[in-house]
Amino acid sequence: MLELKNIKWSLPEGEEILKGIDITIPDGQLTVITGPNGGGKTSLAKLIAGIITPSEGRILLDGTDITDMGITERSKFGVGYAFQQPVRFKGITVRDLLELAAGEKISDEKACELLGKVGICGREYIDRSVDASLSGGESKRIEIATVLARSSSKISVFDEPEAGIDLWSFTCLIDTFKALKEEHGESLLIISHQERILEIADNIIVIADGKVDREGKREEILPTLLHGSESCSCPMGRNLEGGF
């Protein structure tokens, strides 16, 4: 179980982005964090991965305070993280990244299995460099595969996994998230605006203006997003991003 207690974080220039977040991500469930752009979702994901550190508040994973752990230590402790903007490397291959993530050599079959989950043919991609020769969508899918390759994650965080991915691959991805949750009981935290991802969530947390706007079971929260909340005066009530 991941617990964020009174998390605050400000930009170096002083602007407060997260204004006291209190949330709990339960074990074995899929929790989606959604909300308008600029509301602090990606900052929250980076805080969980240890890429940035909170100015106030504590982060607990399975009861252990991980607030002061660095990125490497958190990874080893069980935090997986897929970047919103995948990082490119000249010369490092898809196989290299998957093996680093898995912590061991992986067979061609295993590599194909992992890449197949994100809609990529392993044989075609396994020895390719993770560089600018890959499209944005290809890079994104490989980024997600590196998190799927980890065998020791207590929680896996995906920051907008749908961005840049074609419809067919996105369908694969949805199935993969469902399988991770239902068959393997993994705890998943996904930052997303995508309705189809929200539809498979167990829990939905809405972050707006650096605060938790609302949270609860999918059945409870999703209708308010699809039809616009009572407090929303925006005319684009049915648009997920505009509906907050």
Partner 1 sequence: MNEKTKEILRIVSEWNGGDFKGAFNIREDGQCAGRQSSENIRIESKKDAPGLEIYISGKARGETVYIPACVTHGDIDDLVYNDFFVEPGADVTVVAGCGVHTDDGHDARHNGIHRFFLGKGSHVLYKEKHIGTGTGKGLKRIDPVTDCELDDDAVLEMDTIQISGVDSTTRKTNAKLGARAKLIIHERLMTDGNETAKTEFNVEMNGEDSGVDLVSRSVAKGESYQDYHSVIKGNCRCTGHSECDAILVGNGRVNAAPELFAGDIDASLIHEAAIGKIAGEQIIKLKTLGLDDEEAEKKIIEGFLRG
- Minimum CB distance to partner 1 smaller for 141 or for 218: 141
Taking the complex as a whole, the smallest distance from the CB of residue 50 to partner 1 amounts, in Å, to 8
190 Cβ contact partners less than 8 Å away, ≥ 6 residues apart: 30, 31, 32, 33, 157, 158, 161, 177, 197, 201
Q: How far apart are alpha carbons 97 and 84 in whole angstroms?
A: 17
- Minimum CB distance to partner 1 smaller for 53 or for 89: 89
3-state SS, residue 16: strand
Taking the complex as a whole, the smallest distance from the CB of residue 239 to partner 1 amounts, in Å, to 31
Cβ count near 26 (within 10 Å): 12
- Minimum CB distance to partner 1 smaller for 16 or for 96: 96
Taking the complex as a whole, the smallest distance from the CB of residue 228 to partner 1 amounts, in Å, to 36
Which pair of tokens denotes residue 106?
A: 């992986």
Q: How far apart are alpha carbons 210 and 212 in whole angstroms?
A: 7
Binding residues for partner 1, rule: CB under 8 A, are: 49, 51, 70-72, 75-76, 79-81, 83, 87, 89-93, 96-97, 100-101, 103, 129, 131, 146, 150
Taking the complex as a whole, the smallest distance from the CB of residue 176 to partner 1 amounts, in Å, to 19
Contact of 204 with 34, CB cutoff 8 Å: yes
- Minimum CB distance to partner 1 smaller for 80 or for 210: 80
